[in-house]
Each structure stands twice: as C-alpha cells, then as structure tokens.
Amino acid sequence: MNTIEERLWNYIDGACSDEERKAIDRLIEQDEAYRSKFEELLSFDKQLAKMEMDEPSMGFTYKVMENIRAEHAQQPLRARINPRIIKGIAGFFIVTILLLVVYMFWSAPMAPVNFSKHLTISLKMPEGFKLPEIKNYLGKPLLQGFFFVDVVLGLFLADTYLRKKRLSKQV
Amino acid sequence: MQSKLSDIELIEQTLAGNQAAYADLVRRHQRFVFTLAMRFSKNREDAEEIAQDCFIKAYRSLASFQKQSKFSTWLYSIVYTTAMTFLRKKRVDTDSINDENTYIQLENHSSGLNNNMAETKSRSYYLNEAIGQLLPDDATIITLFYMGEQSLDEIGQTLGMEANTVKVKLFRARQRLKEKLEKNLKSEVKELI
C-alpha cells in the first residue's frame, strides 16, 4: 500500500493511472490535510525544477576539442586508412602477380624442359585440350587498364589522407 | 553561438568528418554533464575531468550510437558509468556521508546557516548543496529528473534500471533530500519549500 506522500508524488509526476488521479483530485478537494501535504510537495517540486545548473570553466569546449584533436593526430597512419583500401590494393597486386606468373609459364617452352642433368620435367597437355591464347588478353589495352586502376587507387588514397588532414585542422 | 541544428543532425555532420559540429554538441550539453559529474566528484576540478572524459568517450563511440533514443540519454549513461568508475578509482566511500567527520561538517554548516545566511544565498544554492550531501545515486536521479528533464523511462535507460525502480528511488531520494534540507536549514526550510 502506497503512503499518502508516495501517492501524491506519483500524482505530481503524472505517474499514476486515470482512476487514481481522479481519486486524488477528490481527496485534495475534500480533505484539508491531504491538500496541505499536496501544496507542500508541489512547492518542493517547483523549487527543484527551478534549480540552476553548474557552469564548467570558460575553455571547457576548447579543452575537449583539443583533446580530441590531439588524440586524432596521435593516431598512427595505418589506423586512419580504411583497411578495405589496403585489402583492395593487396588484391589488385595478387591478381597482377598471378596473371604475370601464368603468362610467364605460357611464354616458356612447353616441350621437355631440362633444369639439370638429373631433373627433367615434361609438360604435356592431354590430347584434344587446347589452352587459350593468353597473349591475346595480355595486350596493350590490359596493361593500360592496370595502370589506370593504379592511378585511380593512388589518387583516392591521397584524397582521403588530405581530406582528413584538412578536417582536423578546421577545429 | 550555438547551432540550431538538432542533436542527430550534428551527430551526422560529426560522423561525416566535421569536428566543429561536435564542438556545438559539447557546448549544448556541457552544463548538464558537468552538473551531473559534480554530483559524484563534489569538486570542480574532478568534475571537469570527468565531463571532458565523457565527451571524448562519446566522440570515440559516436558511430555506435543508436538513434532510437535521445543523444542526451546515451550521453548521460556514459557520464554515469564514467563517474562511477571515477569513484571506484578514487576509492571514495559512498557511505561516508554518515561518518563522524561529515556530521561535524554538517554541524558547522548548520551553524553557519543560522547567521541569516539563508537571506543572502539563493534557494537554488541550498538545494544544490543538500543534493551534494546525498548519495551519488540519489543525487543523480534527482538531477536527471529535474535538470535533465528525463522521463522515468529515460532515467531507467541511463542507469540500467526498470522505470518502476527509478520511480521508487526518486521518491526515496526526494524524502532524503527533504531530510537534509530540514537538517541544514532547520526552521528556514519552511520558507524554502
């Protein structure tokens, strides 16, 4: 069972049901002791609502932003660069290397290869199997494509780095 | 001059790399965060340290802020946990309000008040001082409810409690606050409330 005070606080805070609110309305109207307690609590509530907040020092915001900026500046470069960019570059180079290796094998003689006197590897393709002509794909346009992607990635990285540097200087 | 953009808009700008937007957010919430920190630390230097720490922590985890709740509710929960950690670090005994030294302090304080000091200082001052004598949890609930304009549900989110628990705690905190005021101000309390 709630005490009178608890019920009145719920009433003042608007934390009671409609039924209870109506019942308290009646009690305040009819019961002098109830009304007096209600007025006391309401006055206390109003005083609490009027309380003033404390003020931090003048340079508070500046200090916070200085700390954030210092923390940002201390961050190592590797943490600031998006790891997806690094993975993208790594992937690009792996694909390039693999293609070059395939090309190298394809350009090498496929007939018996003598690595030494004792080691002989003979690469023979099964009958009817025809390797695609990789030379056709590794022409000038493909190399130009590789260089183009390289340049785009480089520019993207430079742009990201310069943008972050500019933003940290803004604050 | 403070920006008229909403908290969410400022957060979005901050996340897009505009740190000046975050400075606006700090300016907007610094008074309340500092007041809340004062409830725990009881001195300005420590409160400022806590408040700064909170804004830096909030900046670091801004990307993880779920925009379903108010930014202030999220920020106040950071203040609460940071301040509690601060108290633990400083090994402040939260029950120290009941120890002998505090009684002496309160006694001296009361005698000072008897010299008609009540006339010269604002009501807000005495209320703030009495709140400062409460346990941190009580002081926090009263501060969040009256100064932070937080609902019982929002206070529950901040403190990690049910709204009903908050309601009961708020009721008890107000009772204890009244007792402190009565003790500090004696007969003058009637004029105050």
Last residue of a domain, one of B90, B122, B140: B90
Which chain B residue has its CA at the smallest distance from A160's CA? B17
The CA angle A126-A130-A132, to the nearest 5 degrees, is: 140
User: In chain B, what residues touch A56 (CB-CB under 8 Å)?
Assistant: 30-31, 34, 47-48, 51
User: In chain A, what residues touch B122 (CB-CB under 8 Å)?
Assistant: 52
C-alpha separations of B184 from A51, A54, B47 in Å = 17, 21, 24
Residue A48 contacts B where some CB pair is shorter than 8 Å: yes
ipTM beyond cut 0.85: no
Residue A26 in domain: yes
How far apart CA A40 and CA A87 sit, in angstroms, is 68
What number is the average pLDDT over the span A151-168?
87
Residue B85 sits in the same domain as residue B121? no
Q: Token pair 């301040």 is at which residue?
A: B83
User: In chain B, what residues touch A167 (CB-CB under 8 Å)?
Assistant: 17-19
Residue B155 sits in the same domain as residue B118? yes
Residue A105 has pLDDT above 50, yes or no: yes
The two tokens of residue A168 are 């940290």
Residue B106 has pLDDT above 50, yes or no: no
What is the domain range of residue B140?
Answer: 96-192
What confidence tens digit (pLDDT) does each residue in B122-154 have?
677 788 888 888 988 899 999 999 988 888 888
Last residue of a domain, one of B90, B105, B130: B90
What confidence tens digit (pLDDT) does each residue in B155-193 have?
998 888 898 899 999 999 999 999 998 888 776 666 665
User: In chain A, what residues touch B47 (CB-CB under 8 Å)?
Assistant: 54, 56
The two tokens of residue B63 are 């990307």
What is the reported pLDDT for A1? 46
Residue A40 contacts B where some CB pair is shorter than 8 Å: yes
How many structural domains is chain A composed of? 2
Residue A38 sits in the same domain as residue A69? no
Residue A120 has pLDDT above 80, yes or no: no
What confidence tens digit (pLDDT) does each residue in B46-91 have?
999 999 999 999 999 888 888 888 899 999 999 999 998 888 887 6
Residue B187 in domain: yes
What type of residue sits at position B123?
R
What is the reported pLDDT for A81? 67
Residue A11 sits in the same domain as residue A29? yes
What is the reported pLDDT for A71? 80
Helices (H), B1-99: 7-15, 19-41, 44-60, 71-90
Closest CB to A171: pick one of B20, B122, B152.
B20
Residue B39 sits in the same domain as residue B74? yes
What is the domain range of residue A65?
Answer: 58-81+139-171
